[in-house]
Amino acid sequence: MASSLLCHHRYFNPITLTPLTNTNKLRHSSSSSSESSRRTSLRINRRSFSISATMASSTTKKVLIPVAHGTEPFEAVVMIDVLRRGGADVTVASVENQVGVDACHGIKMVADTLLSEITDSVFDLIMLPGGLPGGETLKNCKPLENMVKKQDTDGRLNAAICCAPALAFGTWGLLEGKKATCYPVFMEKLATCATAVESRVEIDGKIVTSRGPGTTMEFSVTLVDQILGKEKAVEVSGPLVMRPNPGDEYTITELNQVNWSFDGTPQILIPIANGSEEMEAVAIIDVLRRAKANVVVAALGSSLEVVASRKVKLVADVLLDEAEKNSYDLIVLPGGLGGAEAFASSEKLVSMLKKQAESNKPYGAICASPALVFEPHGLLKGKKATAFPAMCSKLSDQSHIEHRVLVDGNLITSRGPGTSLEFALAIVEKFYGREKGLQLAKATLV
């Protein structure tokens, strides 16, 4: 008998990032303290800062995102992706002595340039990702410190997430007299240099701070609002399929429940290609490696480096030709139009997927890939699935498309960037159990 854990949906305001109910609306920090504290984890605070319609202009906004060895890759990639979706000119700069950085969880990225080459450039926004030891490296980077301080003196926006508000902004003296938030374990340190609050995103003057991986999308859309205006933020947030209830316990829908088995450690293959959706790919890799699964990232084609859908450069572990030699407990595809089309045209990958399905072994996909890869190759026959909303018309069975994460036996599918962390946590749950999934959800602030 099918078992179900149903998703609950509410109408959603993509700018305030809160469900539109009478009891949970965006509040300014001048609200009553008791009500403010009760709602603090589900809202974005604004203090002494007007909506940036007055800031938005016809000129392209320039954004700097510095990265280092040990940067939290999901935070960095979401920031890059979302701001580029908004039309910002985003420069990813390595503070190391090479453009390639080894981010957390074994994820390799390639920056656009070295920070040392652009220290005289002017940006409308500087955004710092978190992660350790990356956050410490950013804090100790004197050229970056000078750029951020000048940014503040000149009245331009600075933003930081996770450990970076406490480690970098706090150490540099930017938070004196301001409200700020950060990753929970750094709140005590933050309290020594700012008024520490538990908002998912906090705006105070020209400083914007946030908490961790699970708040990064809200953080990034908020910054689109600040530099490009509310209309652009609404435009960007819609296709992200963001959570209607950020901070609430994640849920999945499961039909035809079966156990996903493995020997020792789950062996998981994640193919990537030029045009793959970087937020989705990195979310899956990041969360599954946090769970201690053995994740193999395999590039289609002849190069380990791929250029993802928003021009983020990711480096795979192996080529698919090499990965094909092994068997896997799960093969899971990120989305992205170009990437999904590449997957669908790869005879090697399609053959691997068909063998996986025929062997009753788990396989999954998110965003465009269920519709563009699984559907045309018969991998959804007799199965319920979901996909990116604009792609769902390509599914022959659309009866369950509204679910954010859908498991049907050995198949798992999901909708888009904003569901990718839930999707990854559902995979963790299927292999390791609900408790492990909830532990990682708490750690990543999903």
Residues noted as catalytic: 367
Q: Helices 73-85 and 216-228: crossing angle, nearest 10°? A: 30
Around 355, how many Cα atoms within 13 Å sit in the side-chain half-sphere? 13
Q: Give the DSSP H/E element, type plus range, for residue 18.
A: strand 18-19
Distance CA 359, CA 216 (A): 38
Supply 164's token pair. 């970076």
* Helix (H), strand (E) at residue 294: strand 294-299
- Contact between 108 and 100 under an 8 Å Cβ cutoff? The reply is yes
Per the structure block, which two tokens stand in for 84? 């580029």
382-389 CB contacts, 8 Å cutoff, 24+ apart: 383/408, 383/409, 383/411, 384/255, 384/408, 385/411, 385/413, 386/413, 386/414, 386/415, 387/413, 387/415, 388/241, 388/335, 388/415, 388/416, 389/241, 389/415, 389/416
Rounded CA-CA distance 47/29 in Å is 6
Q: Cα separation of 437 and 446, whole Å?
A: 10
d(CA 270, CA 333): 6
H or E element, residue 46:
strand 44-47
Q: Which two tokens stand for residue 333?
A: 């595809």
**CB of 305 closer than 8 Å to CB of 314:** yes
Would you give the distance in Å from CA 350 to the centre of its chain? 27
- In whole angstroms, what separates CA 14 from the centre of its chain? 16
